[in-house]
Amino acid sequence: MKIAVCIKRVPDTETRIAIAANRTAIVETGVKFILNPYDEFAVEAALQLKQAHGGDVMVVSLGPDTIQETLRVALAMGADRAVQLKTDGAPFDTLSVASALAAELTTYAPDLVLLGKMAIDDYNHAMGPALAELLGMPCVSAISKLTVADGRLTAEREVEGGVEVVTAPLPAVLTADKGLNKPRLPTLPGIMAAKKKPMEVRPAALGVARVVVRSLEPPPERPAGRIIGEGAAAVPELIRLLQTEAKVL
Amino acid sequence: MAPVLAFAESRGTALRKAALEAVAAARSIAGADPVHALLVGPPGIAAVAPELGRAGASTVFVCEHAGFTQSNPEAASALAADRARSGGYRAVVFVSTAQGRDLAPRVAARLGAPLATDVTSLVVTGDEIIATHPVYSGKAIATLVVTGAPAVLAVRPSSFAPEQTTHTATVETIAPIGDPSASRVVVTELRTGGGARLDVAEAPIVVSGGRGLKDAANFAIVEDLAAAFGNAAVGASRAVVDAGWRDHGEQVGQTGKTVSPSLYIAVGISGMIQHLAGMRTARTIVAINRDKEAPIFKVADYGIVGDLFEIVPALAAAVREARRTG
Amino acid sequence: MDQDLYAIDSALSEDERAVRDSVRRFVDERVMPVIGPAYIDGRFPKELIPDMAALGLFGANLPVEYGCAGLNNVAYGLIMQELERGDSGIRSFASVQGALVMYPIYAFGSDEQKARYLPAMASGEIIGCFGLTEPDFGSNPSGMITTAHEQSNGSFVLNGAKMWITNGSTAQVAIIWAKTGADDKSIRGFIVPTDTKGFSATDQKGKLSLRASDTSELVLQDVCVPRTHILPKSGGLKSPLMCLTQARFGIAWGAVGAAMACYEEARSYATTRVMFGRPIGGFQIQQQRLADMLTEIVKAQLLALHLGRLKDAGTFTPQQVSLAKRNNVNIATDIAREARRLLGANGILAEYASMRHMANLESVYTYEGTHDIHTLILGQALTGLNAFN
């Protein structure tokens, strides 16, 4: 099987973020960058499929040279080869990036394309289905269970109030949600081996960016709340406030 | 004069709340121009078209086909893209539900249209649509400029309140593109969790429980409080999901769902940043915790300090009484 | 640390950071959930051994040809740092396996011994322990009374007792140091399978420190090992001391990890614990505590890092290791205690790590050369004068 995994290098949102002076980006010094956690599920799924069916796992990412470190994390987990689509800064526009990924993947001609369902920085939640359309492939998004057999995939995805069971033929695009698997840690021998695996760098064939970030702001402050009382004795006051002030009851 | 198209999400032959929110969001940018709704479903779905009219759609395009008995993303997106092309729309609006997140990017890619998702506010200024979109787990709000028509927009659930008008919409039947039964992606089954439990991301009221409940069995008091409200969903902190007490589908927070209900009640939840990221945009937040220094009280509009095992049942009884008499 | 105030990350290579990050995640995901109860129960969580091996933690700085990760010494140090951030007992297990069992086989063993044991030890199939210290000979190993008498058929019969042996009761193999003759020049190393007749290992009970670690007493009563089990290139006290130098290097890093864990716990607590209407981290005395802690941690990190670069260059000396072990463990014991104090009453609960680290670090202060012994090693290096006796 030929499996391609699209990954993204993102700030670890456990750390605090500060908005930069230009107001269109965050301050990067002191920020820890990691492999997008949802992409880890995708890499792990690819590695498990390779273990079961044999084949090749390629990881691809778009960005400046700093993303090579993240590509090597995926190589250290067990991917076979990496491709950096080089660009100064990854655009925010989903379709612009999807065009570049589609161009690369058309050449690679995978049986499966895996990605995380979303990136924890941009929260766009759109790359998988957009990429699938550009590739002309079926897509199942936000999957939490997957089996592949005889050229078909069967997956489960959470929807509001339930779970959909979905099938599609290969080749296909899948996006991974939490619960799909437990990603393996890069082993120490794996980290050393990653340095010797192929890492190709090519310019990114980006599409026009028609969605741009004009500014970043901190979220609006909530007005200060108050502790209205102690114990069950405070319940009548809460009911009164919910009825008269908050008007939700 | 460019109308705006709203995708009306449905399940089986019933409309989903997201459909009305999409119409509301479309109305907010259409201005004086009309809003059209696109409704796809199995035979019988046309019966809900008037609801879309009352929500503010002037025309409802309906496609009825057995191939839409289950969700059919390929056929739905092909039809939406085709309708968008034919109608010369300013924008195509979805809601960022599980379905909307799947369809909107497909439609954008088919149309070669710019795409903004999980949008919390919209303003049209001439050639541009200005959209706000939370990023970095809600730690920042991005203002996006979307250039080009049609633009494909997916708005965050509960960001645009459905309206109630007395409009009647014109209903037009349209044919699917190709054969929906021949889609490559096939939903073979929809398993709904025992009973029609409200999804935490959609419910107007969420009652969430955390480690303060001490035991999985004690979640019964959270469920009871939710039941007392009638239209509330049960949520959970990451700690109790990781402990196996509750399902991941109920998890609210950075690695779970982001919710924007009218009322969020946090029971026995300390209020770590990762949890707050998932609920801080709720309109009213109530916190019940025995530790008055718990961080949750900093974001709560109303806090009660004390033993939740006494407070929550008392609150459930009071809510039931208020609803009975109110 | 989530606050790399002195940008020490920039002095590490990408590989070194990747190794550190992987081990950190392993500790967060696998060690932290079990370590508190394991410590209270007084047991080493053996169930972690296969995954520790799979990650490549054993003998990580030994060559790839023996199934090891082939890392440089800074990466090895970072492993010890991250393991001890979890618990000194976890790091002790890895130190013993790597530096005190695999290393002597690698340095002093025959090709057959290396091929037979090293890959199996890297994979965790064979666990080893290091038998040097005796009930009456701790700081003074040259006085050991364990003997190995050569027999007419070339085998050796070992008699004696060893004490404070980490992994002793878990190990399949013990590296036993014994005198084949009268004085310490006759000390040789032996690979003793622990199921050999006459060999017994008993866990020492009643420990208030390093509880999540097996510490055993070994007794050898007419234990017979074939000639093939002697470490052929071993000879004199120098051999076990070389092993200790390897382990002490790792411990200098490990202590930094324990200090970091205590500091982070204290800092996090100080910024959320509210008293007198504000977080206690806003009060001057707590700020001084935190500032002092971090300053010592940064110094200790830089010490360890420079030492690691010297070791990789092949130029480090045992005296340099003594300086780092002595300093880093000492500041770590202070930091653990101060963190415990900052935590107030909560600090005595097992839910918080600082007091567990505080107790553990007392063992780390004492083992692998007590603080005082390293003081004398340095004193001798500085003055040329021997103050040992």
Q: Give the pLDDT confidence score for residue C372 in this predicted structure.
A: 92
Q: What residues does B145 pair with on adjacent strands?
A: A212, B130
Residues of B within 8 A of A218 (CB-CB) are: 139-141
Assess if residue B32 is contained within a domain: yes
Among A residues 74-93, those touching chain B with beta carbons less than 8 Å apart: 92-93
What are B75-116's pLDDT values in tens digits?
A: 999 999 999 999 999 999 999 999 999 999 999 999 999 999
Written in H, E and C, the secondary structure of C106-145 is HHHCCHHHHHHHHHHHHCCCCCEEEECCECCECCCHHHCC
Q: Distance between CA atoms of B41 and A196, rounded to whole angstroms?
A: 53
Domain ranges across chain C = 8-122, 128-229, 238-383
pLDDT attached to residue B194 = 57
CA distance A164 to A157: 5
**pLDDT band at residue C286 using 50, 70 and 90 as cut-offs:** very high
Strands (DSSP E) found in B136-204? 140-147, 151-155, 170-173, 186-192
> Residue B247 has what pLDDT?
87
> Average pLDDT of B148-160?
93
Q: Which carries the bigger pLDDT value, residue B127 or residue C300?
A: C300
* DSSP conformation class of C97: I
Which of C21, C24, C82 to mutate to test binding with chain A, by most A CBs within 10 Å of its CB? C21
Residue B7, judged by CB atoms within 10 A of its CB (0-12, 13-18, 19+), counts as buried
pLDDT (mean) for A18-39: 90
**Same domain (yes/no): B94, B238:** no
Name the domain count of chain B: 2
Tell me how far apart the alpha carbons of residues A237 and B314 are, in angstroms, rounded to a whole number: 12
**Cross-chain residue pair C22–A186, CB shorter than 8 Å:** yes
Report CB contact under 8 Å: A185, C69. no
Residues 6+ apart with CB under 8 A from C310: C316, C320
**CB within 8 Å: B302 and A228:** yes
pLDDT digits 0-9 by tens, B46-75: 999 999 999 999 999 999 999 999 999 999
pLDDT for residue A24 is more than 80 = yes
Q: Does C79 touch chain A (CB under 8 A)?
A: yes
Contact assignment for C71 to A32 by CB distance below 8 Å:
no
Does A44 touch chain B if contact means CB atoms closer than 8 Å?
no
> Which secondary structure element, helix H or strand E, spans residue C187, and what is its range?
strand C187-193
* pTM for the predicted model, two decimal places: 0.90
Q: Which residues of C touch A195 (CB under 8 A)?
A: 15
Q: Is the pLDDT of residue C147 over 50?
A: yes
Selected for mutation to probe chain A from C17, C19, C31, C272 (highest A CB count within 10 Å) is: C19
The domain that holds B321 is classified in CATH as 3.40.50.1220
Sign of the dihedral through C-alpha C243, C244, C245, C250: positive
Same domain, B283 and B316: yes
Judged by CB atoms closer than 8 Å, whether chains meet at A188 and C22 is answered as: yes
Report the candidate in B153, B160, B123 with the shortest Cα–Cα distance to residue B17: B160
């010494």: which residue's tokens?
C73
Q: Which residues of B touch A120 (CB under 8 A)?
A: 136-137, 254
List CB contacts (< 8 A) between B297 and chain A. Answer: 225, 227
Q: Which of B290-304, C90-104, C174-188 shows the lowest mean pLDDT across its residues?
A: B290-304
Q: Which residues pair with A176 in a beta bridge?
A: A116, A143
Question: For the segment B7-40, what is each residue's pLDDT rounded down to a tens digit?
Answer: 999 999 999 999 999 999 999 999 999 999 999 9
What is the residue-averaged pLDDT of chain C? 95
Contact A32 C2 (CB under 8 A): yes
Q: Is C268 on the interface with B (CB under 8 A)?
A: no
Of the listed ranges A25-34, A180-189, C180-189, C190-199, the least confidently predicted one is A25-34
- Which of B107, B119, B143, B177 to probe by mutation at the A interface, max A CB count within 10 Å? B143
Nearest-CA distance from A52 to chain C in Å? 19
Q: In Å, what is the CA distance from B14 to each residue of A157, A190, B83, B194, C315? A: 21, 52, 22, 19, 77
Q: Is C272 on the interface with B (CB under 8 A)?
A: yes
| Chains interfacing with B (3 or more CB pairs < 8 Å) | A, C
pLDDT over 60 (residue C14): yes
Assign A103 a pLDDT band (cuts: 50, 70, 90): very high
* Relative orientation angle of helices C238-272 and C318-342, to the nearest 10 degrees: 30
* C80, C246 contact by CB (below 8 A): no
Shortest Cα distance, chain A CAs vs residue C74, angstroms: 13
Pairwise CB contact (< 8 Å): B140 & A219: yes
pLDDT above 70 covers a percentage of chain A that reads 99
Supply the CATH number for residue B70's domain. Answer: 3.40.50.620
Considering only residues A219 and B121, tell me which one the structure prediction assigns the higher pLDDT: B121
Nearest to A76 among C18, C26, C71 (CB): C18
Does residue B210 fall inside a structural domain?
yes
For the stretch B210-265, pLDDT in tens is: 999 999 999 999 999 999 998 899 999 998 998 889 988 899 987 788 898 999 99
CA distance to partner chain A, nearest, from residue C28 (Å): 12
CATH value of C8-122 in 1.20.1250.20, 3.40.1390.10, 3.40.50.1820, 1.10.540.10: 1.10.540.10
Q: How far is Cα A193 from Cα C238, in angstroms, rounded to an integer? A: 35
| Cβ pair C60:A188 closer than 8 A | yes
Identify whether C296 is a catalytic site residue: no
Q: Taking a C-beta distance cutoff of 8 angstroms, is the pair B277, B258 a contact?
A: yes
CA distances from C256 to C249, C300, C356 (A): 12, 7, 15
pLDDT of residue C380: 94
Q: What kind of architecture, by CATH, is found in domain A2-203?
A: 3-Layer(aba) Sandwich (3.40)
A83: closest CA of chain B, how far (Å): 24
CB within 8 Å: C273 and B293: yes
Kindly report the nearest CA distance between residue B256 and chain A, in angstroms: 9
- Architecture of the CATH domain C128-229: Beta Barrel (2.40)
Percent of chain A with pLDDT over 90: 84
Nearest CA in chain B to A245: B284
Q: Is the pLDDT at B326 greater than 70, yes or no?
A: no
Is A14 within 8 Å of chain C by CB? yes
User: Residue B219: what pLDDT?
Assistant: 95
Say if A186 is an interface residue toward chain C (CB within 8 Å): yes
- CB atoms A235 and B190 under 8 Å: no
Predicted local distance difference test score (pLDDT) of residue A129: 98
| Cα C234 off chain centre by | 22
Number of A/B CB contacts below 8 angstroms equals 268
Which of B88, B128, B94 is closest to B108 using CA atoms? B94
Determine whether the interchain pair A238/B146 forms a contact, defined as Cβ–Cβ distance below 8 Å.
no
**H helix or E strand, kind and range, residue B4:** strand B4-8
Same-domain check for residues B131 and B86? yes
The ipTM estimated for the assembled molecules is 0.93
B16 & B158 share domain: yes
In sign, the C-alpha dihedral spanning C369, C372, C375, C379 is negative
pLDDT tens, position by position, A64-98: 999 999 999 999 999 999 999 999 988 999 999 99
- Quick check: bond before B150 cis, omega within 30? yes
| Tokens coding B208 | 């969430």
For the record, the structure tokens of C45 come out as 């969580």
Instruction: Compute and round to an integer the Cα radius of gyration of chain C.
Output: 21
Looking up tokens 């440089």, which residue turns up? Answer: C72
Please report the pLDDT score of residue B123 as a whole number: 96
Q: Is there a single domain that holds both residue B174 and residue B223? A: no
Contact C19 A189 (CB under 8 A): no
Shared fold status for C128-229 and C238-383:
no
CA of C80 to nearest chain A CA: how many angstroms apart?
Answer: 13
Mean of pLDDT over chain B: 93
At residue A87, φ and ψ (nearest 5 deg) are -155, 155
A140 lies within 8 A of chain B by CB: yes
Read off the pLDDT band of B201 (50, 70, 90): confident
Q: Is residue B157 part of a domain?
A: yes
Domain boundaries C238-383, CATH class: mainly alpha
Residues B23, B82, single domain; the answer is yes
Given the residues C82, C264, C338, C368, select the one marked as catalytic. C368
C75-to-C83, C302, C304, C319 alpha-carbon distances in Å: 12, 14, 11, 21
More confident residue, B256 or A171: A171
Nearest CA of chain C to the CA of A4: how many Å?
23
Domain boundary among B182, B213, B236: B182
Mean pLDDT, residues A234-239 taken together:
94
Q: State how far the Cα of B25 lies from the Cα of B279, in Å rounded to an integer.
A: 21
Mutate to test the interface with A, among C24, C55, C66 (most CBs of A within 10 A): C55
Query: Does residue B151 share a domain with residue B290?
Result: no
Chain C (4-33) residues lying within 8 Å, Cβ to Cβ, of chain A: 4, 14-15, 18-19, 22-23, 25-26, 29
pLDDT at residue number C1: 44
pLDDT band at residue C231 using 50, 70 and 90 as cut-offs = very high
- Residue B88 falls in which region: left (phi positive, over 0), alpha (psi -120 to 50) or beta: left
User: What band does C238 get if pLDDT is binned at 50, 70 and 90?
Assistant: very high
Residue B221: beta bridge partners? none
All residues of chain C having their beta carbon less than 8 Å from the beta carbon of residue B295 are: 272
pLDDT of residue C209 exceeding 50, the answer is: yes
Give A167's contacts in chain B (Cβ within 8 Å). Answer: 185-186, 188
What does the DSSP 8-state code read for residue A66? T
Report how far residue C134's alpha carbon sits from residue C164's, in angstroms, rounded to the nearest whole number: 8
Whether residue A248 and residue B115 make contact (CB cut-off 8 A), yes or no, is no
Query: Token pair of B68, please?
Result: 């839409």
Instruction: Give C109-130 pLDDT, tens digit per residue.
Output: 999 999 999 999 999 999 999 9
The residue-averaged pLDDT of A117-134 equals: 96
Residue B152 pLDDT grade (very low, low, confident, very high; cuts 50, 70, 90) = very high
Minimal-distance CA residue of chain A relative to C58? A188
pLDDT at B196: 55
Token couple for A111: 């049986």
State the count of interchain CB pairs (< 8 A) between A and C: 51
pLDDT of residue A16: 75
Residue of A115, A143, A211 to mutate for B, most B C-beta atoms under 10 A: A211
**Taking a C-beta distance cutoff of 8 angstroms, is the pair B296, B278 a contact?**
no
Q: Is residue B163 part of a domain?
A: yes
CB atoms within 10 A of CB B17: 17
The DSSP 8-state label assigned to residue C205 in this structure reads P
Q: Which residue has the tokens 């005796």?
A: C134
Statement: residue B195 has pLDDT above 60: no
Give me the domain span that covers residue B22: 4-182
Nearest-CA distance from B44 to chain A in Å? 22
- CB-CB: which of A162, A166, A242 is closest to B193? A162
pLDDT of residue C356: 97
φ, ψ for residue B195, nearest 5 deg = 80, 165
